Amino acid sequence: MSDSDVDDDTPMLGMDLPEAAPAVAASAGPYRVLARKYRPQTFAELIGQDAMVKTLGNAIARDRLAHAFLMTGVRGVGKTSTARLIAKALNCIGPDGQGGPTIDPCGVCEPCRAITEGRHIDVIEMDAASNTGVDDVREIIEAVRYAAVSARYKIYIIDEVHMLSRNAFNALLKTLEEPPPHVKFLFATTEVNKVPVTVLSRCQRFDLRRITPDMLFAHFSAILQKEGVEAEAPAIWLIAAAAEGSVRDGLSILDQAIAHADLDGGGRIGADQVRAMLGLSDRSAIAQLMAAILEGDSGGAIDLARAQYALGIEPVAMVRGLMDLTHAITLAKVSRHDDPALAEADRERIGDWAQKLGFAPLNRLWQLLLKGHDEVLRANNPLEHLEMLLLRVIYAASLPDPGELAKLLESGGVAAVPLAPAPAAPPDGAEQASAAPEASAATALTVAQIHQLLESAGHHQLARQVYDDVKVVTLEPGVLVFAPSPALGEGFARGLSEALFAATGSRWQARAGEGEARPSLKDIRDARAADDDARIRELPVVKAALAAFPDAELERPGDNRHRTHP
């Protein structure tokens, strides 16, 4: 393969990499990126596209070749390179010059070498992104009438074909439907939905699949071995995951990782280096952040987030890390989590969380993080939005879902989750201001959690109304019925339902209704304060002070309101 090898940087997917490729590259002088250096030259070197190779092989063997092929798939899976391989397969004449079309082109005959080097006169490549008009297509229409100069087929490869204008597509239709027998069209596109159906119906379509991480791992490992570069297995897995099924993207990251290792790692690619290079959050730090969330440690969670931010980790990367960890925990619950890049300690931690957490809390956590991800991504100050998201998630974790709420109300107990601060208890030995039943206490606690959740989510007016004016009539799974009050307004019920759904991912119906209502949180606080004041006034020292100073008033620290008057 000479230095004038194909210009396109779209890689083919090779498992059995050509041994000669490094030697050729070494003698060529200028450095070539891995995506070009290790472009496979036969269908046997492709990985992940077995169905397409089998179909093409059968079509060639049976002499049932279509006149137009369309390759579609995500970026970097080798669409244009596949088109070039098809061109070689159709025009190969074998080492002796007597061969015909074959799924295994020899690579040594003049047509094979010319196509590999991008100089074959009968294989015409066109970039539709820069040749979009009717005039560009008209040149093709005029040229297809003439026979191939030296090849068996005249082949037109049009990359990013979806970029052609509508008029250009219309001009091509007739020729595409009935081309001369010596002409083949090969199209490549990443956005097949933008190609008119009239064109699609005239082509044999191949959907190139994303390459799985294990295939990418094997591919990159083979390349590193040929390059003489050492790498930790977790580092290669991280690169394979970051490639998202694209070989070209993965090879670009691998190129960068090799350069990074040469500078900082003594020639060895480490997982920590790759993670820092890609701006990924540290797994252990994300695990600590998740632990703080699940324990309800709001201060600790914010401190951890700020520490990661100070190290250069973007807030949105932290949210993604939490989402990945939530996804891993959920899959572990159904025994479907298998990440080779994980250390044994991380596996045990995920397994432990999977046993302790139910599907409902995990789904709620996922929904909150998913919604928060977009907010942090678009935020002018991402760190502030991340901190608010963490608080929202922590307080949402303390709000029972409808199923837990049903058990809570039936038993009169409280779920074992981090709770929002409850009103202060009276002094030891003091008699309660109200002998409310346990169910009433559980209801008050749930309403207090709703109040805290609304505050943390920024719904301050709704939170104030819940605290001051919501007097619960009925509290059932997903249903909150409260006594009507002019202070709540007409839109309060709808606003509360929408806010709770946005914050928790669970449907809550809030509405006004008739019936015996429990006191609001404000009423409970005022009743406790009055009871405290009454007991304080009975203390001998206070009685003596009030008797000596008849105009004195009893106040609570930090409260500007006068509680009692003599």
pLDDT digits (tens, 9 = 90+) for 436-456: 445 566 677 788 888 888 887
Listed in sequence order, the residues at least 6 apart from 502 whose beta carbon sits closer than 8 Å to its beta carbon are 371, 457
- What was the pLDDT predicted at 270? 83
How crowded is the C-beta side of 392, counted as CA atoms within 13 Å? Answer: 28
**What phi, psi does 510 have (nearest 5°)?**
-110, 130
* pLDDT block averages, 10 residues each, the chain of length 566: 41 44 48 82 78 86 88 85 88 88 88 88 86 83 86 89 89 86 90 90 88 88 88 86 85 87 68 78 81 88 90 88 90 76 72 84 87 89 91 73 53 39 39 46 77 81 88 82 87 86 79 86 84 74 66 60 38
In angstroms, rounded to a whole number, what is the distance separating the alpha carbons of residues 55 and 46?
14
Q: How far is CA 537 from the centre of its chain?
A: 61
Segments making up each domain of the chain, as ranges: 41-207, 283-397, 424-522
- What pLDDT, on a 0 to 100 scale, did the predictor assign at position 500? 83
Per residue in 112-169, pLDDT (tens digit) is 999 888 889 999 888 888 877 888 888 888 888 888 888 889 999 988 899 888 888 8
Question: What pLDDT is recorded for position 433?
Answer: 38
Which of 216, 214, 209, 219 has the alpha carbon at shortest distance from 338? 214
pTM over 0.85: no
Residue 73's closest CA among 247, 242, 189? 189
The pLDDT, as a whole number, for residue 266 is 61
> Domain 283-397 carries which CATH code?
1.20.272.10
Residue of 430, 428, 429 lying closest to 533 (CA atoms): 430
13: region left, alpha or beta (phi > 0 left; psi from -120 to 50 alpha): beta
CATH 3.40.1280.10 fits 424-522, yes or no: no
* 41-207, CATH topology level: Rossmann fold (3.40.50)
Can you tell me which residue has the tokens 């020899």?
106
Vertex 560: Cα angle to 556 and 561 (nearest 5): 80
For 358, residues 6+ apart whose C-beta sits below 8 A from its C-beta are none
pLDDT of 70 reads 92
What integer pLDDT is reported at residue 31 of this predicted model? 79
